[in-house]
Structure 1
Amino acid sequence: MILKLKRLDKIGLFFFLAFIVSMSLIWLFEERFSTEQWLENPAQRYKMVDDLIESQILIGKTKDEVAGVLGQPNLRSPEERDAFAYSIGEHPSFFESKREMLVITFVNQKVDEVTLATE
């Protein structure tokens, strides 16, 4: 049995398959967060930071628990902005890349927000 598709159906099928393939490749090559890799290779942290933020595994943790997962922060903010900052390395780029840091903000001694900020 031969399936006959109209031109518009072929175009739609092409874009659907392209979407599936691209999402699969993104998922396949995205680094998952692991404490061991974070601590051993600070220059490659940029590969894991998206997973760390999206998974929200730090939300609700204390400062000691965060230090146990990520190690000691590169910068501690003054008490009025209770936050830790971690260097994540530089993304490879053809252009001058902005240096980013992972910023973990605490409210009442617990993690409230995990974001990226430029240096």
Structure 2
Amino acid sequence: MILTTPFVILMILVFVLMYLFAKTIDHRKWVILVIALVLTPLIYFYVVYPLLNIFSSYHHEKYFDEMAWKEKPAARYEMSGDIIDKKLLKDRSKSEVEHFLGTCDWYSWDDSLKMNSSDLWNYNLGVKPGAFNRANEYLEISFENNRAKHIKQYQIEKTFE
């Protein structure tokens, strides 16, 4: 387990709350301390931590892995940050991009052509986990002269009818 500042602060907060709760049960200091010490990790790991994971939009980020990208399309959002930050596809040809990412899911609409353009590739990244997240993530790669020039990530809200 890695001891980070937010973890320590939350554990202290839970301990103080458990100590105050135990004070309502008994007035002997050693009983209050034992109750607080026993309840603190239980409350943290079975109540606070799960709630934190449900309501926060944090997700794991991974390094780009060609096999994982192709085999697990629903988890691509974990690798998209690495692709954008390291500019892994910048100035690569369409065939190189297709080798890394596979065939694109669809072409984007180009207003100047009034049709879908084969120079605007889109990949579905999936939905980031979270209780209130209803947006699909997408990666768009735009090509100029058969070379990847712009890579952006965007969201489209899912609508249910």
When normalised by structure 2's length, the TM-score is 0.54
Structure 1 CA distance for aligned equivalents of residues 62 and 100 of structure 2: 17
Corresponding residue for residue 17 of structure 2: none
- Structure with the higher fraction of residues in strand conformation: 2
Residue from 58, 78, 81 that aligns with 1:50 = 81
Structure 1, unmatched stretches of 5+, are 1-16, 20-28
* In the alignment, structure 1 residue 62 sits paired with structure 2 residue 99: no
1:77 CA displacement: 2.9
Corresponding residue for residue 106 of structure 1: 143
Corresponding residue for residue 97 of structure 1: 134
Corresponding residue for residue 25 of structure 1: none
Structure 2, unmatched stretches of 5+, are 7-59, 157-161
- Bigger radius of gyration: 2
- The alignment's C-alpha RMSD in Å is 1.9
Corresponding residue for residue 36 of structure 2: none
Q: Name the SS for the 2:143 alignment partner.
A: strand
Corresponding residue for residue 66 of structure 2: 35
Structure 1 CA distance for aligned equivalents of residues 109 and 129 of structure 2: 31
1:78 CA displacement: 5.1
When normalised by structure 1's length, the TM-score is 0.71
1:35 CA displacement: 0.4
Q: Name the SS for the 1:39 alignment partner.
A: helix
- Structure with the bigger RCO (C-alpha within 8 Å, sep 6+) is 1
Of residues 92-101 and 65-74 in structure 1, the stretch that sits farther from structure 2 once superposed is 92-101
